Amino acid sequence: MRVVMKFGGVSVKDGKNILHCANLVKRYAKDNEIVVVVSAMAGVTDALQNAAYKCCYERSLGFIKLFIAELANRHYEAVDFAVKNKSIKSKVLATIDNLIDELEKVLTGISYLGELTKRSEDYILSFGERLLAPIFSASLLSLGVDSVALTGGDAGIITDNNFGRARPLPESYQIIKNRLEPLISIKRTVPVVTGFIGATENGVITTLGRGGSDLTATLIASAIDADEVWLWKEVDGVMTTDPKIVPEAKVIPELSYQEAMELSHFGAKILHPKALEPVMAKKIPVRIKNTFNPDAKGTVIKEETQSTEDIVKAISLIERAGIINVSGAGFDFAEIMAEVFRRLAIARVHVIMVAQSSSELNLSIVVDKSDLDKAMKALSGLNNGTVRISKKDNIAIVSAVGAGMAGTPGVAGRIFSALGREGINVIMISQSCSEYNVSFAVSKEEGRRAVKVIHDEFGLGK
Ligand code: ASP
Ligand code: MG
């Protein structure tokens, strides 16, 4: 089998975990062709981002020394634990030192300049994965598994220059194939590729957006026609809802691509929302597996799932959202809406869902809470006598997803009567045409309770 395996940040958070993951790879590499994709150690990307801002705005050189020392130590310790062979160890330490040196210079430069562009931010964020891949690869080598560490750019992931959310260019597929296939099928080596990062045609480092390692994995899988993608995480699979909200939540054995995409769009932390695009056309299944319980089946995301009795399969929650209301009378609805969405697109506001009420000219647009002010600002010019723009903060979005909903009448009715019975006030409703999901807004305070009520109503914990 040909498998792309991606290890998330918690799976590789320290030397002990890295060694454990490398042993897992060793176990599968005997009989399979494997490409490994790694995230940065848990928390490192966030720390790099904080450091970048701090250097730019506070310009404290003392801070850089401390930050660099801590980051270097964390990685040295990992090497110590994960790489037992002496000569392999000294080689990887030299690589780490070079990277750490480079990062220190970049941060120092940022603090002198007091300027942080999107391009330099991507460069700084890339260090998490660039430090990790050589360590993982060295750990494999020291276990006797032939391996080579590559950056996303080395592996052939060429992107546009939309820093912070770069899109891979179509020619990447062929380049990735040309570079990786000889390694896995002829050299029988295990490439360890940095997740999350790519490079422009000129070799400038870009990132694919936070959580982008999933996308790296699926992109590579599609390019090399892998049989499966395995996303190793610290949970047993995709759950019916967040077990922190509903302790009875259960693992879902199978999801369709469509269901998984709806869930990710509506806040479930399954995988990067764009990650399924590259594998869907080729029908490559994506498995979510638990690093710390590797023999558990996990969840498989694929084209068709076996029909189940479940109407609603999972419930997701976005706790930080806001609503923009566009209302008024005496204007051309389509014209105003075109203008509204044009402005939101230019301001790069992430729109979560929309609903239109038919009784009057009113459109409600749900956005990320962090985008709410930006959205209001972008639309402020439209606020005149005829068009009114207003906002509502502290909103939660609950979304019930399941392909079985399409063929079952009365699902929405059941959802809303259950909420009514519990006295939960629904602010806005949106039922997508796919009929795979019913989503609605409640106040932030009632979000978790609403999830519980629906989870119970459809017996998902049983
Ligand atoms: N390290 C990156 C992040 O934290 C990418 C990833 O983990 O997928 O967003
Ligand atoms: Mg991460």
* Inside any domain, residue 99: yes
Q: What is the mean pLDDT of residues 271-278?
A: 90
- Note the ligand closest to the C-alpha atom of 38: 1
* Inside any domain, residue 322: yes
d(CA 356, ligand 2 centre) in Å: 37
pTM above 0.75, yes or no: yes
Question: Are residue 227 and residue 341 in the same domain, yes or no?
Answer: no
Question: Are residue 453 and residue 350 in the same domain, yes or no?
Answer: yes
* Inside any domain, residue 242: no
pLDDT reading at 210 higher than 80: yes
pLDDT in tens, 96-139: 999 999 999 999 999 999 999 999 999 999 999 999 999 999 99
Atom index in ligand 1 nearest the CA of residue 212 equals: 8
Testing ligand 1's pocket by substitution, the residue of 36, 45, 157, 288 carrying the most ligand atoms inside 8 A of its CB is 45
d(CA 214, ligand 1 centre) in Å: 9
d(CA 312, ligand 2 centre) in Å: 30
pLDDT in tens, 283-292: 999 999 999 9
d(CA 76, ligand 2 centre) in Å: 19
d(CA 129, ligand 1 centre) in Å: 8
The pLDDT > 70 percentage for the chain reads: 98
- Note the ligand closest to the C-alpha atom of 130: 1
Q: How many independent structural domains does the chain possess?
A: 2
d(CA 94, ligand 2 centre) in Å: 24
Structure confidence at residue 384 (pLDDT): 81
Structure confidence at residue 311 (pLDDT): 86
pLDDT in tens, 397-407: 999 999 888 77
Question: Are residue 63 and residue 201 in the same domain, yes or no?
Answer: yes
- Note the ligand closest to the C-alpha atom of 6: 1
- Note the ligand closest to the C-alpha atom of 46: 1
Q: What is the mean pLDDT of residues 410-428?
A: 93
pLDDT reading at 433 higher than 60: no
Q: What is the mean pLDDT of residues 256-263?
A: 91
d(CA 215, ligand 1 centre) in Å: 10
- Note the ligand closest to the C-alpha atom of 196: 1
Testing ligand 1's pocket by substitution, the residue of 11, 39, 71, 232 carrying the most ligand atoms inside 8 A of its CB is 39
* Inside any domain, residue 292: no
Structure confidence at residue 120 (pLDDT): 97
Question: Are residue 54 and residue 188 in the same domain, yes or no?
Answer: yes
For residue 324, the enclosing domain spans: 314-457
pLDDT in tens, 303-349: 977 666 678 999 999 999 999 999 888 778 888 889 999 999 999 89
d(CA 321, ligand 2 centre) in Å: 23
pLDDT reading at 249 higher than 90: yes
Question: Are residue 323 and residue 414 in the same domain, yes or no?
Answer: yes
Let me know: does 217 contact 231? Beta carbons within 8 Å. Answer: yes
Nearest CA to ligand 1 atom 5: 211
* Inside any domain, residue 271: no
Question: Are residue 423 and residue 318 in the same domain, yes or no?
Answer: yes
> Who lines ligand 1 at CB under 6 A?
9, 39-40, 45, 128, 195-196, 210-213
pLDDT reading at 198 higher than 70: yes
Question: Are residue 339 and residue 212 in the same domain, yes or no?
Answer: no
Atom index in ligand 1 nearest the CA of residue 214 equals: 8
d(CA 193, ligand 1 centre) in Å: 13
Q: Which of 200, 234, 268 is the last residue of a domain?
A: 234
Testing ligand 1's pocket by substitution, the residue of 205, 207, 210, 288 carrying the most ligand atoms inside 8 A of its CB is 210
Question: Are residue 226 and residue 318 in the same domain, yes or no?
Answer: no
pLDDT reading at 379 higher than 80: yes
Considering only residues 225 and 272, tell me which one the structure prediction assigns the higher pLDDT: 225
Nearest CA to ligand 1 atom 6: 211
- CATH number for the domain spanning 227: value is 3.40.1160.10
Q: How far apart are CA 267 and CA 448, in angstroms?
A: 13
d(CA 117, ligand 2 centre) in Å: 21
* Inside any domain, residue 251: no
* Inside any domain, residue 351: yes
Atom index in ligand 1 nearest the CA of residue 129 equals: 1
Q: Which of 213, 234, 255 is the last residue of a domain?
A: 234
Question: Are residue 203 and residue 325 in the same domain, yes or no?
Answer: no
- CATH number for the domain spanning 426: value is 3.30.2130.10
User: Which residues have their alpha-adjacent CB atom under 5 A from ion ligand 2?
Assistant: 9, 39, 45
* Inside any domain, residue 306: no
Q: Which of 234, 269, 294 is the last residue of a domain?
A: 234
Cα Rg of the chain (Å, integer): 24
From 66-80, 86-100, 220-234, 354-368, the region with the lowest mean pLDDT: 354-368
